[in-house]
Amino acid sequence: MMIGVMHGPNLGRLGRRQPEIYGRTSLSDVEADLRATFPEVEFQFFQSNHEGALIDTLESWRDQGIRDVVMNPGALTHQSYALRDAIEGLELRVVEVHLSNIYRREPFRAHSIIAPVVVGQISGLGVMGYHLAVRYLIASSGAV
């Protein structure tokens, strides 16, 4: 099974940026932990601060046969119609993940443009959200 794990803007600074909100685990730690926990999965990881690079990567993954994606779109959650349209148009099975509880923060964070086109959303469970998303995608593989 192949799963893409995509991280949006500012997540490259995970572990150093606002650790009181996002924790102290680095992005490379998250990736290593997922590989160790799920050896049966072939992961592709990608992080970018640029919307177009995220969309280009989703298109590339789809062309490679990757349909299942765990995505933390960062702030693009609240403003990227282009990313939303890419997810919908590529017919990807995406689980949206947020480290912090976006509904307990600033009001603008409580709305996800992405949510209507993903299979589910995990918010506020820290890096465990990535694990839960992968577990879901494995358990529901083959399901629409």
86 found inside a domain: yes
For 71-91, letters b (16+ CB in 10 Å) and e give: bbbbebbbebeebbebbeebe
Tally of structural domains, the chain = 1
In a domain, 144, yes or no: no
In this structure, is residue 13 part of a structural domain? yes
| Res 140: pLDDT | 96
Q: Is 22 annotated in the active site?
A: yes
Task: Tell me what the pLDDT averaged over the chain comes to.
Answer: 92
Which member of 7, 98, 130, 131 is catalytic? 98
The residue type of 13 is: R
Q: What pLDDT, in 10s, does the model give residues 38-68? A: 999 999 999 999 999 999 999 999 999 999 9
CATH of the domain at 22: 3.40.50.9100
Q: Dump pLDDT digits (tens) for 59-110.
A: 999 999 999 999 999 999 999 999 999 999 999 999 999 998 887 777 777 7
In a domain, 36, yes or no: yes
pTM for this one? 0.91
| 81 part of a folded domain | yes
Q: What residue numbers bound the domain in which 70 lies?
A: 2-139
In whole angstroms, how far apart are CA 43 and each of 40, 61, 82, 129?
9, 11, 24, 16
Q: How confident is the model at residue 144 (pLDDT cuts 50, 70, 90)?
A: very low
Annotation says 103 is catalytic = no
Q: Is residue 135 part of a domain?
A: yes
Active-site residue among 7, 22, 130, 131? 22
